[in-house]
Amino acid sequence: MQVPDFILRQPATLQEAITAAQEASRPPDGSHAPSAPEQGYDWLGGGTDLLCNYKWRINQRPVVIALRGVAELQSDVAGSLAAGRTLWQLENDAEIQRRYPALASTAALVASPLIRRSATLGGNLHLDTRCWHFNQTAEWRAAHRSCLKAEADQCRVLPDPGDVCVAAYCGDLAPVLIAYGAVARLHGPDGERRVPLAEYFAGDGIRRFAERRRAELMVAVEMPADAEDWRVNYRKLRLRQTFDFPEGGVAVGLQWESGNPGVIAAARIATTAYASVPLLHPEVVELLQGQLLDQDLADRAGALLESLVQPMKNTSMSPSYRRKMARVLCRRALLDCSPHSSS
Amino acid sequence: MSTSRRILRLRVNGQPREVLARDADTLLDVLREQLGLTGSKRGCDLGTCGCCTVQIDGEPQLACLTLAAEVGEREVTTVEALRDGEEFAPLQQAWAAAGASQCGFCTPGFLMTTDWLLREKPDCNREQMREALAGNLCRCTGYVKILDAVERCTRSQGACPSEK
Ligand SMILES: Cc1cc2nc3c(=O)[nH]c(=O)nc-3n(C[C@H](O)[C@H](O)[C@H](O)COP(=O)(O)OP(=O)(O)OC[C@H]3O[C@@H](n4cnc5c(N)ncnc54)[C@H](O)[C@@H]3O)c2cc1C
Ligand code: FES
Ligand code: FES
């Protein structure tokens, strides 16, 4: 499969990258009107998501801007992780293993070791949403007249109303970073802005970000100063223990009452693969807060989570199984946080 | 749109190689179609099999998801460089002796990942082998003979490629 033609830009600095994106999103007449899809650009991290989609002729753009050479995306500054770091680096970095163990162990659950050599943190957080009807060849999509996120005018999974995309967000790192309270650092033509990851994602399978600004990219993920005080755990449901995307993923972050380990002072619960964006579950947080973490509480939290998630019929496993597993994943993730657990 | 191309100056198997490639060509396209190095296989072309594994600066990487234009001055090593003159490398001999190849399509990828693994962890145990090889799929062997072949090359078995 040939990757369809594009022009590759290889900026060396953040400013050059932003300028390349501005040039690519400007229509040929030089005006500043928003660009149509046949114009425009995509950022390229490791390419392990984007190039697969391009090979299947999905939403390709004429310009691709490679971030590999952008110095500002390659090295961490104090308290933050550069967006260009590979998942392989994250899982093998002794400092990350010590300070954010759930981040290192989750990075090691993504895809396969070979994919993780190229896959980047920024690419993982911006991973495109996935669906049976979307991740298919152009010929398959043409034969099935799907899907809304590619070239058709109606969603095949949820034909009524049909104008909402229900493709699933299947990134593994987002829920874990949300459980740590991480903040996205973005850079664009108007300078820098910081957005908590918990507020970064919103919308459906097509419009996936709360606010997307033109020529803006993610430079780093900031870890809050208290991140190390949180006990974070992630459980992933998948068919095989390698390669496969999550069919469901639950991240749990807990802080103990001071002097009372096991009594939950604060909690964060985030899921992946159950909707078009990573979801937060304040209802479960409310149930947990102020309680002693034990088997009964973990069971009740799992049951509540099961009642909240609404997976669609658009991945390999059935929605009912994925929903049931939300209960199991949540319970296990919680119990693994317990002060008596070895993990 | 018109095709954007450029001249790439690559280093492949210790040799400087110059090719004219599209910006969108992958390293696998260039190795197989332009340089005639067909040892690296095109299995899935989507990152899901590992048949295209090569080494870039000594680290295993998927050639099907690497843009050729992004390789730059880094050294590319393909399975063709494993053999020592007319002789198969100890790793390749171990593969044959253990019966770790059936159709053979996955073999180049496994060899390139294993070659790196044995350099990194010459004393690796079977769990570490499984972990390291979890990005390479084999549809024929059931993996046991592949692990046997790798084991034959660990330092304790005396045939470690890094000591050849
Ligand atoms: C076989 C297979 C299995 C996989 N399994 C998993 C899995 O289990 N879990 C999982 O999470 N993922 C999985 N993936 C998807 C992918 O490999 C990872 O999510 C990876 O981390 C993506 O990173 P990348 O750098 O390769 O992204 P790219 O492909 O380079 O980019 C992905 C998207 O992010 C955008 N982007 C990249 N960097 C930035 C930035 N700095 N700022 C703004 N936008 C940016 C790109 O424009 C693009 O839209 C799998 C992929 C394959 C092929
Ligand atoms: S051909 Fe590259 S991973 Fe399958
Ligand atoms: S020997 Fe046939 S795929 Fe491995």
Distance in angstroms (rounded) separating the CA atoms of residues A101 and A95: 9
Q: Does A273 touch chain B (CB under 8 A)?
A: no
Contact A5 B26 (CB under 8 A): no
Alpha helices in A137-238 (DSSP H): 138-144, 173-179, 197-200
From B105, B113, B144, the mutation candidate for ligand 3 (largest count of ligand atoms within 8 A of CB) is B105
Return the SS3 of A103.
helix
| Tens-place pLDDT, residues B65-124 | 999 999 999 999 999 999 988 899 999 999 999 999 999 999 999 999 999 999 999 999
pLDDT band at residue B8 using 50, 70 and 90 as cut-offs: very high
Q: Could you read off the pLDDT of B63-76 as tens digits, one per residue?
A: 999 999 999 999 99
Task: Give the one of A54, A62, A118 whose C-beta lies nearest to B62's C-beta.
Answer: A118
Strand stretches in chain A, DSSP E? 7-9, 41-44, 63-66, 80-82, 183-188, 191-196, 217-222, 231-237, 248-257, 260-272, 279-280
Q: Any chain B CB within 8 A of the CB of A137?
A: no
- Separation CA A305–CA A233 (nearest Å): 16
Q: What distance in Å separates the CA atoms of residue A102 and residue B56, rounded to the nearest whole number?
A: 29
Look up tokens 């874990």; give the residue.
A176
Distances from the Cα of A103 to the Cα of A97, A170, A171, B118, angstroms: 8, 16, 13, 27
Q: Which atom of ligand 1 is nearest to the CA of A124?
A: 21
By the CB < 8 Å criterion, does A2 face chain B? yes
At a CB cut-off of 8 Å and minimum separation 6, what does A277 contact?
A169, A201, A202, A203, A208
Domains belonging to chain A, first-starting first, are 228-336 (3.30.390.50)
The pLDDT-based confidence of B159 (bands split at 50, 70, 90) is low
Cβ of B64 below 6 Å from ligand 2? yes
Q: How far is the CA of A54 from the centre of ligand 2 (A)?
A: 15
pLDDT tens, N- to C-terminus, chain A (343 residues): 899 999 999 999 999 999 999 999 876 655 555 455 557 999 999 999 999 999 999 999 999 999 999 999 998 888 899 999 999 999 999 999 999 999 999 999 999 999 999 999 999 999 999 999 899 998 988 888 778 888 877 888 888 877 889 999 999 999 999 999 999 999 999 999 999 999 999 988 888 898 889 999 999 999 999 999 999 999 999 999 999 999 999 999 999 999 999 999 999 999 999 999 999 999 999 999 999 999 999 999 999 999 999 999 999 999 999 999 999 999 999 999 988 776 5
In DSSP terms, A272 is beta-bridged to A249
Is any atom of ligand 3 closer than 6 Å to the C-beta of B126? no
* Beta carbons of A128 and A53 less than 8 angstroms apart: yes
> pLDDT tens digit string along B30-74?
999 999 999 999 999 999 999 999 999 999 999 999 999 999 999
**Under an 8 Å CB criterion, which residues of B touch A?**
1-4, 22-26, 29, 45-48, 50, 53, 59-62, 65-67, 69-70, 113, 131-132, 134-137
**Residue B50 Cα: closest atom of ligand 2:** 3
Q: Where are any strands of DSSP class E within chain B?
A: 5-12, 15-22, 53-56, 59-62, 75-77
Residue B105 in contact with ligand 3 by CB distance below 6 A: yes
Report the residue of chain A nearest B71, measured CA to CA.
A68
What pLDDT is attached to residue B163?
Answer: 45
pLDDT at A76: 87
Q: In this structure, what token pair is assigned to residue A293?
A: 């973490």
Atom of ligand 1 nearest to the CA of A243: 3
In this complex, is the C-beta atom of A51 within 8 Å of any C-beta atom belonging to chain B? yes
Starting from the CA of residue A52, give the closest ligand.
1
Residue B132 has pLDDT above 50, yes or no: yes
ipTM associated with this complex: 0.96
Question: Dihedral of CA A37/A43/A45/A46: which sign?
Answer: positive
Looking at residue B16, its pLDDT comes to 98
Q: Tell which wins on pLDDT, A211 or B133.
A: B133
Its pTM stands at 0.96
Q: Do A51 and B67 touch (CB under 8 A)?
A: yes
> Considering chain B, what is the average pLDDT of its residues?
95
- Ligand 2: does its nearest atom lie under 6 Å from the Cβ of B44? yes
* pLDDT given at position B164: 41
Domains assigned to chain B: 6-80 (3.10.20.30), 90-152 (1.10.150.120)
Q: Check residue B158 and give its pLDDT.
A: 66
Q: Residue B15: pLDDT above 80? A: yes
pLDDT at residue A154 in the model: 82
